[in-house]
Structure 1
Amino acid sequence: MKETVKAHVGEAALLLTALIWGSGFVASAVSLRHFTPYEILFGRFLIGAVLLAGVFHRKIRNIRMSTLKKGAVLGFFLYGAFLLQTVGLQYTTPSKNAFLTAVNVIIVPFISFVLYRRKFDKYEVFGALLAVLGVAVISLEMSFGIQLGDALTLLCAVFFAFQIFYTSLYVAKEDPVLLTLVQMMVAALLSAVPLFFQEAVHLPRNGEALFSLFYLGIFSTTAAYLLQTTAQKFTTETKTAIILSTEAFFGMALSVLILSEPLTLRMILGGILIFAAILTSETKGDFGKMRKKYPESLEKDTP
């Protein structure tokens, strides 16, 4: 019973993470008016690292070498995913970029199978396919040409899939706070490298620039990844990827509410498919277990 409650709390935390990331689309759009994409990456990861170090400084003295190594792996995949997504966006459309990034939902169970021979859960795999279909309906435009940006974004999805997979693997034995802290520090260090190749670094000069960057750093990075890492203690990596795919739905919904984008039938249908994906992965086997336990009562209630 306790494990079930923890699982539901963890899944609720992942849904909150997706909501925060969805709101990050609006903040990112505002930030791009004032900063280059590479400056935004460095700023959000630096804010995340500093904030976590400040709030949880007492935990740092207990950090283990295994946490440093595992956090570094997560930081590498996290930064690589964001970098590939950012560069890929320069050579493809935003809709294809969003869709191809969401393909990580399908990649996660295959990583589990190839590396650890974990059997495919048919409900979770079907849910993953529904989630990708939902994101496609929301974001994908009728443009099927393959461009350099598409390949880079697909590679970005692979990096995100590995970040999700290894988070589930590592958080079972590591402190999620310290794991997130090291991940942010490594990502911040790596994201500083491209800044050396810029002609100039733009410093925030007004309240809008500061607010958007700090929103990304505090909420979309610090809070969201801390929630994700902690929540993955209590659910599977495939279900994690499915729930996090609701980021596309929340991004769409908040764009309609805040940026006054028109609401279309395609958006509604995509949202329905994504939430159907969550229900498919969430209720898998629950009905089957009930049927085994109470077969007679269920048959009586069935018309």
Structure 2
Amino acid sequence: MTEKRHIPGFVYKLMLLAATIIWGFAFVVMKDAVDVLPPAQLIGVRFFLTGLLMAAVFHRSLKGALNGPCLKAGLVLAVVTFLAFWVQTVGLADTTPGKNAFLTATYCVIVPFMLWAVAGKRPTFANVGAAALCITGIGLVSLTAGSLAFEFGDAMTLLCAVFFAAQIIAIARYSKRFDVLALTVYQFLFGGIAGLVVGALTEPAPNLAALTPEFAFNLFYLVVFASGLCYLFQNVGLVHVSPAQGSLLLSLESVFGVLASVLFYGEVVTGRMAVGFVLIFAAILISELAPTRAKREKHPKTSESSDAPKSRSIPIVDEDDSDLVASS
């Protein structure tokens, strides 16, 4: 009889850290890829290939999930997810990868206020304080010096954060009723089809001459690493890492996004932008960690670990909505 192999806890933390690094550098990869393939088509190809890959890996989870309610839930998630990534990619074409990474991460701050609107759950003082910090940081990062005008790319990125927040709330609801892995497969497959359809109707045909080996590598990175591998690392890691530690590790994605932009895109981070990044990052941590601490104080005997995969950046909205899955 073989003994179950023990894996040290730090290995799961390293998996989460690896996912944040891959996702952070994906902002630069997306910036290069969108110069070759229009946003909707790029998202369509990326999502559909990722969906096929995940369907092959998790085909057992699809058994019993081929029913109308689960397919409908997957379709709803796919539409919201596609809109989030599409708007984000449109914004990325008109801003830097570093700013895109940090502004996208503000969805963590938006979630409690969206829950207030749709479910009547009032935000906490920590949520309000995080929102104030976040708005200040956004102003420092995005507003042009001497002007109150937002750049188009920054405005679109903030809009994508709203869609990501809506996606998180929808996943929190649907994951209680349906298999999480099956939902994720449908989310990618239907999202990919949506991207291909929207791209065919609204965007010019891709320039086949621009589909170089470099673009093929970027697409491989987005499909295999930024989507498939990262979600595997996230889902496995978060089963063994507490929500507080997991949220702290995964929120580093925006930091690695800026680092990648500086190293490979040549982005120059001014002092004003740096202060804005720090304020946004502080808002993310407050938004994620304060609710977890409040929950722990309310239920001191309850373990922080969970048996279900959580969402990327794991915004803990309340006791009933804490079981979230992949968002990006």
Q: Structure 1's 275 and 15: CA in aligned 2 closer, same or farther, altered over 3 A?
A: farther
Shift of 1:167: 1.7
Tell me which residue corresponds to 2:178: 174
Bigger mean CA deviation after superposition, 115-124 or 14-23:
14-23
Tell me the amino acid that sits aligned with residue 25 of structure 1.
F
Give the direction of change, closer, same or farther, for the CA distance of 1:229–1:175 in structure 2 (3 Å limit): farther
Say yes or no: does 1:253 pair with 2:259.
yes
Write 1 or 2 for the structure with the bigger share of helix. 1
Structure 2, gaps ≥5 residues long: 1-9, 301-328
Q: 1:206 is matched with which residue?
A: 212
What is the aligned partner in structure 1 of residue 322 from structure 2? none
**Equivalent position of 1:183 in the other structure:** 187
CA–CA distance in 2 between the matches of 1:14 and 1:135? 26
Equivalent position of 1:215 in the other structure? 221
Deviations 1:150-194 (A, max 9, x none): 765554332221011112222234322111111001111100113
Is 2:279 aligned against 1:273?
A: yes
Is 1:52–2:54 an aligned residue pair? yes
Q: CA deviation at 1:29?
A: 2.2
Could you state the TM-score of these two structures normalised by the residue count of structure 1? 0.72
Q: Would the alpha carbon gap of residues 284 and 12 (structure 1) be closer, same or farther in structure 2, given more than 3 Å must change?
A: farther
Could you say if the C-alpha distance between residues 82 and 228 of structure 1 is closer, same or farther in structure 2, counting changes exceeding 3 Å?
same
Task: Indicate yes or no: 2:43 matched with 1:41.
Answer: yes
Give the 3-state SS of the residue equivalent to 1:194 in structure 2. Answer: helix
The answer to whether structure 1 residue 76 and structure 2 residue 79 are counterparts is yes
Contact (CA 8 Å) 1:135, 1:274: kept in 2 or not? Answer: yes
Tell whether the 8 Å contact from 1:180 to 1:229 is kept in structure 2 after alignment.
no
CA RMSD of aligned residues (A): 4.1
Where do 5+ consecutive residues of structure 1 fail to align?
1-7, 294-303
Task: Specify the code of the residue in structure 1 equivalent to 2:206.
Answer: V
Task: Return the offset for 1:144.
Answer: 2.3
Q: Decide whether aligned partners of structure 1 residues 25 and 135 sit closer, same or farther in structure 2, where only a CA change above 3 A counts.
A: farther
SS in structure 2 at match of 1:119: coil
Q: Which residue of 1 aligns with 2:112?
A: 109
What TM-score do you get using the length of structure 2 for normalisation? Answer: 0.67
Separation (CA, whole Å) in 1 of partners of 2:75 and 2:157: 22
Answer yes or no: is the 8 Å Cα contact 2:54–2:228 preserved in 1: yes
- Counterpart among 14, 21, 24 of residue 22 in structure 1: 24
SS of residue matched to 2:121:
coil
> Which one-letter code corresponds to 1:179 in the other structure?
L
From 270, 279, 282, the counterpart of 2:289: 282
In 2: Cα distance, 1:223 partner to 1:87 partner: 24
Q: Which amino acid aligns with 2:213?
A: G
What's 1:85 paired with?
88
The answer to whether the 8 A contact 2:83-2:163 is kept is: yes
